Structure 1
Amino acid sequence: MIKKVSFVKNRDEPGVHNGKAENRTLMRNGWTTVISNIGGGGVNTVNCLYKTWGRIAPGCTMDLYSLDKFKKYKSDWNYPVQVRHQENAAAPEKEKPRSTFQSAMKVTLTVGQYFGLCPVQGIHENDASKLRFNYISWRCLYTYLSMTGQFTLAFVLTLSFFRETSSSVDTATSLIFYSLAFTTTTLFWRIAKKWPKLCMLIAKVESVDPTTDLKLGRNFNICCIGVLTLALVEHIFSDLQGISFTLDCDPDLPLYETFMKRSFSWLFLYIPYNTFFGILFQFLNIQSTFNWNFTDVFVICMSMYLTSRLNQVNQRIIAAKDKNSPSSFWRAMREDYNRSVHLVRQVDKIIGGVIFISFASNLFFVCSQLLHTLAGGIKATQKCRPDSSEDHRLMGGYVHSIYFVFSFAFLVVRSLAVSLTAAKVHAASLEPAHSLYDVSSSNYCVEVERFLAQIHGDTVALTGLQFFQVKRGLVLTIAGTIVTYELVLMQFTGVSPASTEVS
């Protein structure tokens, strides 16, 4: 039982007129006296204490959660007080560290802009309202030049593919590669136009429910640096096999010129070679390679953020499933869940094209690299001049096999990472149902029923332009497709267990 405590001090005592600071001290002492005289209690006692303190000291709040005496009743409290008692009401509390989508994506977007992607201004600002997209800017000019160069490579390769009778699977692969590079740059340019509006929507969601995952930025940076570093290694192996072939066949000719003429033989049939064009086309080739890999990085980062938003709601639902939560709590949880679902749909509308390109390109190049690996086998390439006693091949001629094996393994791992990370969005959207089923019958209400109906009645997942939904089962579907088309390609090119050469 709560004893009455007088908060009025004798006016004749010294120090009565010391102002508000003394009154706050007096109130705190009175509160301490109230706490010390409570012999027992429960949820009603705690609620009564909260109401009483709110009447006698509305400007001086107390955090009941910090009192060890009442921690056992924390699960039943109806008044979630979050402000601790302050000696000086004018002293602001230290702001807790927060992780925002804008700050987490800084490094990833900066790296993308180095290769002409997502030309948005203000990506280094913490305020999403400072993001701008201008059609006439240095970033957009760089993107326009990149699109022009990639389109030129794809167009000339298309002419060569249809005019040359010796066109092969490798020529078709190069054509698809540069076409995808041009398409990717165009899609990111369209995303850049909508990026400021999307980030403002995300900022509004974060203002209502701040992100609690402080490791998002670190995870984004690790993903970006890790994938692009492996992509650089793959590209180095690709160039090394060309250099090795050049050294073996034409050791007396200028290395760089011969290497470029062999790598872009279809291009220099229409454009005379010079050093400037050689450097320019090599840069466009590197840019196209990194743009292709950056697509997967972008999808992984966006998927991780959306999964984090859904898991943040899931954690609160899991923590409350065994508690005596009112109907208003479940309504608030359902509204938080709706905000996250709405965010998933808005993101999917904007990046759906990038998701489609990512899955389509990975599927094609996994089949292509697997075909080359099966056709060539793990063995050294034959010498270009068997009669020569000198061997100019790098790594003893194994650089070709190392490239295709590494490229195939890297593609498989990267494709699995994209598929499984994007599929987590759908898995996280179904997670609240498990906790809602555990709600006791005494706490079951209409809001819980509506919540369950919404989870099971609607599919929340990232899609590739609405052609497919990214779920865990999609991985098995892609694996089956790879096997099917690999068999078709092997028959088309003449590769069989008895024949290890491409006809």
Structure 2
Amino acid sequence: MGLTMKVYGLSSRSPDEPCHFHGCLRHALRFARWMGFFPVQGLGEASPEGIRFKIKSLYSIYVIATFGGQVVMSYFSVMLFFQSEVTNIIFYGTGLISAILLLKLSQQWPALMTKAVETERSLTELTLDNKVVVRSNVLAYLFMALAMVEHILCTSFNIKFVMYCLQEAGITNNVMENYVEHRMPYIFNYIPYSFFSALFFEYLCLQSTFLWSFNDILIACISIYITAYFKTLNAVIATNSKKDKDAIPWSILRLHYSNLVKLVKEIDDNISSLILLSFFTDLFYICLQLFNSLHRNHVSFKYCDETQTNQALSSPFYLLYYLYSFVFIVLRALMLSLFASNVHCAALEPVYSVYDVPSTVYDNEVRRFQLQLHYTEVGLSGKFFYVTRNMILKYSVTPNPYYNVSTTLAIIVDNGRRCFKGIRDY
């Protein structure tokens, strides 16, 4: 028998009471399922009743095949690593780790969905605006579209680079063969080239590229959902703190806050490894893009000498790809950092309203709430750190002149000047 996990206890849920957690995440997770990384059924439905993880299913077969492909790509990249190429092993190694973490998350997803539904039902005094779901889904579609544009620009530049070196006027079979061998020497140094093998490994590369952006999008959508509930609760608490009569009992508001904190802890236990991996990959590729641009580094091609390579790296195609890719990576990293840190900020906000409670209604429940807000650490974490605004900004105020915002901006401006000079010379 196949292992099946379902969401139980949802039969009494009314269609007028949508699960916002399911609504905010299901579109993003469908992207992952289409690419072979999240074998959970029921994501296409508006309600969470059909959410289940089933071993014996077409989705699971697809995931197993995908996992095997990522293992193969990681293996070949390790082979190239011993020939002094580290970028590919980071790219495919982190992709393989992401695939493992997403498979683990998919196993826990029905239980996590059950916890989210129970929490939403317990929040009797809160009503979440459906615009939150729309905002989360728009973000997912937008950034996946931007990621696809980045991949297309990268592919286009490398094809143009090969055409320039081969002195070909159009895209021919010779150009495509050399393009594939140029992009994936860690594969075709060990196996013979064929059209079907090139197509297969190109798709595996696309899957890894998808994971490169998807983790950030998933964490951002989860952060939007959690932050929205905390902000709704904060508005209710702020209104309640100004009332002497007809106020909501503080024991209920404190319980609502406690339930949200428990949900954040449950979610964080499942995605903290993904957060750590996302921060690592974002920082690595930002530094790599800056280094490669400043030093005009590019993977060498056997039909290109140094002069031809330098001319290609001064072309408008490279400038367009580099600027778009760098801005996209920085924008994605900022999105991840700011949305994730908003969870911590929103969880701290009630403290100001609770300390403004009139003395006429001040009681032990208010006192307990104050202590809870003071001593409870709430936020998403990357295993070893909480994602807060202080954590994000601390390096921008360090006295070390080699690690601050002004130095980084100066590098970017100087690099842009060199790129535009290259276009003029080109």
TM-score (norm 1): 0.71
Question: What's the counterpart of residue 353 of structure 1?
Answer: 273
- Asked if residue 428 in structure 1 is aligned to residue 342 in structure 2, the reply is no
Give the distance between the partners of 1:450 and 1:111, measured in 2 at CA.
Answer: 43
The 3-state SS of whatever aligns with 1:199 is helix
- Asked if residue 256 in structure 1 is aligned to residue 176 in structure 2, the reply is yes
Q: How many residues align?
A: 383
Structure 1 residues 350, 431: CA separation in 2 closer, same or farther (over 3 Å shift)? same
Give the distance between the partners of 1:158 and 1:226, measured in 2 at CA.
Answer: 33
- Asked if residue 240 in structure 1 is aligned to residue 169 in structure 2, the reply is no
Give the distance between the partners of 1:483 and 1:230, measured in 2 at CA.
Answer: 31
Question: What's the counterpart of residue 69 of structure 2?
Answer: 149
The aligned runs of 1:64-463 (5 Å cut-off) are 98=18, 100-162=20-82, 164=83, 167=84, 171-209=85-123, 211-251=127-167, 254-325=174-245, 329-376=249-296, 384=304, 397-463=315-381
Question: What's the counterpart of residue 8 of structure 2?
Answer: none
Give the distance between the partners of 1:418 and 1:346, measured in 2 at CA.
Answer: 19
Aligned-residue offset at 1:179: 0.6
The 3-state SS of whatever aligns with 1:133 is strand
Give the distance between the partners of 2:267 and 2:17, measured in 1 at CA.
Answer: 25
Aligned-residue offset at 1:373: 2.2
Give the distance between the partners of 1:99 and 1:129, measured in 2 at CA.
Answer: 10
TM-score (norm 2): 0.83
1:326–1:443 Cα contact (<8 Å) kept: no
Structure 1 residues 327, 316: CA separation in 2 closer, same or farther (over 3 Å shift)? closer
Give the distance between the partners of 2:65 and 2:274, measured in 1 at CA.
Answer: 20
474-483 vs 278-287, which deviates more? 474-483
Aligned to 1:475, which of 392, 396, 402? 392
Name the amino acid aligned to 1:430. Answer: L
CA displacement, residues 214-260 of structure 1 (integer Å, 9 cap, x when unaligned): 11221122111111111111111111221111101113571211110
Task: Flag structure 1 segments of 5+ consecutive residues without an equivalent.
Answer: 1-93, 378-382, 488-494
Name the amino acid aligned to 2:317. Answer: V
Structure 1 residues 301, 482: CA separation in 2 closer, same or farther (over 3 Å shift)? farther
Question: What's the counterpart of residue 7 of structure 2?
Answer: none
Structure 1 residues 200, 444: CA separation in 2 closer, same or farther (over 3 Å shift)? same
Give the distance between the partners of 1:247 and 1:385, measured in 2 at CA.
Answer: 14
1:99–1:213 Cα contact (<8 Å) kept: no
Name the amino acid aligned to 1:111. Answer: F
Aligned-residue offset at 1:315: 1.3
2:150–2:321 Cα contact (<8 Å) kept: yes
Give the distance between the partners of 1:482 and 1:470, measured in 2 at CA.
Answer: 24
The 3-state SS of whatever aligns with 1:267 is helix
The 3-state SS of whatever aligns with 2:281 is helix
Name the amino acid aligned to 2:264. Answer: V
Give the distance between the partners of 2:394 and 2:291, measured in 1 at CA.
Answer: 19
Question: What's the counterpart of residue 29 of structure 1?
Answer: none
Name the amino acid aligned to 2:166. Answer: D
2:18–2:47 Cα contact (<8 Å) kept: no
Give the distance between the partners of 2:307 and 2:112, measured in 1 at CA.
Answer: 64
Question: What's the counterpart of residue 4 of structure 2?
Answer: none
Which protein is richer in helix relative to its size?
2
CA displacement, residues 75-100 of structure 1 (integer Å, 9 cap, x when unaligned): xxxxxxxxxxxxxxxxxxx9867562
Structure 1 residues 195, 384: CA separation in 2 closer, same or farther (over 3 Å shift)? same
Name the amino acid aligned to 1:440. Answer: P
CA displacement, residues 385-427 of structure 1 (integer Å, 9 cap, x when unaligned): 7999xxxx98982212322222111111111111010001111
Question: What's the counterpart of residue 38 of structure 1?
Answer: none
- Whichever of the two has the greater Rg, that structure is 1
Aligned-residue offset at 1:196: 0.3
Query: What CA RMSD, in Å, does the superposition of the two structures yield over aligned residues?
Result: 3.1
Give the distance between the partners of 1:194 and 1:96, measured in 2 at CA.
Answer: 26
By relative contact order (CA 8 Å, sep 6+), the higher-ranking structure is: 2
1:423–1:461 Cα contact (<8 Å) kept: yes
Name the amino acid aligned to 1:439. Answer: V
CA displacement, residues 198-218 of structure 1 (integer Å, 9 cap, x when unaligned): 001111112222642211221
476-485 vs 246-255, which deviates more? 476-485
The 3-state SS of whatever aligns with 2:387 is coil
1:122–1:132 Cα contact (<8 Å) kept: yes
Name the amino acid aligned to 1:366. Answer: I
Structure 1 residues 272, 482: CA separation in 2 closer, same or farther (over 3 Å shift)? farther
Name the amino acid aligned to 1:258. Answer: N
Question: What's the counterpart of residue 65 of structure 1?
Answer: none
CA displacement, residues 357-396 of structure 1 (integer Å, 9 cap, x when unaligned): 111111111111111222239xxxxx957999xxxx9898
Give the distance between the partners of 2:230 and 2:348, measured in 1 at CA.
Answer: 10
The 3-state SS of whatever aligns with 1:105 is helix
Aligned-residue offset at 1:306: 0.8
Give the distance between the partners of 2:63 and 2:21, measured in 1 at CA.
Answer: 24
1:129–1:200 Cα contact (<8 Å) kept: no
- Matched-pair identity in %: 30
Structure 1 residues 269, 430: CA separation in 2 closer, same or farther (over 3 Å shift)? same
Give the distance between the partners of 1:357 and 1:387, measured in 2 at CA.
Answer: 38
Task: Flag structure 2 segments of 5+ consecutive residues without an equivalent.
Answer: 1-13, 298-302, 408-414, 422-426
